[in-house]
Structure 1
Amino acid sequence: MAPCEYVDVPIGFKFRPSDARLLGYYLLNKKEPWDIWNDLGGKNLGKGEDLYFFTKLKLVTGKGSRVARTIGNGTWKGEDRGTTVRDPARKNRPLGLCKRFRYENDNSDQHGCWIMHE
């Protein structure tokens, strides 16, 4: 499959990639989050539409496996244990883990208002 390129799509087409496709293909062809937001009109999204952002993880320690999920004065708090994403084309080999997080900052009016799926 070629990298993202403009193609005519039928009216009403919805982009609904599987988790395996998001991890295995689109992650490799990533853009900066602010480019996606600006290019796709983030402020004008309709109800139920999503934007996907990929960022580099910050480890708590240099060689550890724990990830620091702080941002500004807040943090992302995990809400579930996550589900394993598997690649059906490769004998259901695990590709990654999908997990839901909620933004927390008791001193902000944004406390609990943002959800992140990782």
Structure 2
Amino acid sequence: MDHGFDGALQLPPGFRFHPTDEELVMYYLCRKCGGLPIAAPVIAEVDLYKFEPWRLPEKAAGGGADAKEWYFFSPRDRKYPNGSRPNRAAGTGYWKATGADKPVGSPRPVAIKKALVFYAGKPPKGVKTNWIMHEYRLADVDRSAAARKKSNNALRVRCVVAMRKRRGKGAQVAAARSS
């Protein structure tokens, strides 16, 4: 793949990266967690929870700000050192889980897909924005403190995230701050 002078991935005209849930998990997430190479660097590695969502499109490997979806590998931070509860605070807001978790893969689920919505401000009085992300994490991974002590990749289990900005309903906080 061709990289521009700033290190950004330069994709050919008409290229669209739109994998299915199964492709995203089986080819990209499983390979990344297994330390295997990925043929093309189309997913950037970014700690999502250090940034507001409107700052992330510029950090994406492909598509940039004009794309409708962005994909990232991100470590999962923990709220408490010995717990498995994720820390979803991000910049000036937080990501809140919504809806039921969905299994990915059949007949046996390989991963779990979770939908999250970004709220500006502090809980519980945050203002809902029009940013949504889908977090994919491997299903059969032991996230206990004992398992983390034994593992070389002990502190963080990687996940892959598909992020997009919804049109229509939702507060316009993200749009106002990105201007």
* 3-state SS, counterpart of residue 104 of structure 2: strand
- CA distance change for structure 1 residues 57 and 35 in 2, over 3 Å: closer, same or farther? same
TM-score, scaled relative to structure 2: 0.46
- CA distance change for structure 1 residues 84 and 105 in 2, over 3 Å: closer, same or farther? same
Match of 2:22 among 20, 27, 32: 20
Q: Which residue of 2 aligns with 1:93?
A: 108
Amino acid at match of 1:112: T
TM-score, scaled relative to structure 1: 0.66
* 3-state SS, counterpart of residue 83 of structure 1: strand
Counterpart check, 1:50 vs 2:50: no
User: Any stretches of 5+ residues in structure 2 without a counterpart?
Assistant: 3-12, 33-37, 47-55, 136-179
Q: Which residue of 1 aligns with 2:129?
A: 112
Q: 2:114 and 2:132 mapped to 1: Cα distance?
A: 11
Q: Which has the higher contact order (CA 8 A, sep 6+)?
A: 2
What is the CA-CA distance between 1:114 and the residue it aligns to? Answer: 1.2
Amino acid at match of 1:102: V
Structure 1 stretches of 4+ with a deviation exceeding 6 A read: none
Match of 1:32 among 45, 58, 71: 45
Q: Which residue of 2 aligns with 1:60?
A: 79
* Seq. identity, %: 32
Q: 1:113 and 1:80 mapped to 2: Cα distance?
A: 16
What is the CA-CA distance between 1:12 and the residue it aligns to? Answer: 5.9
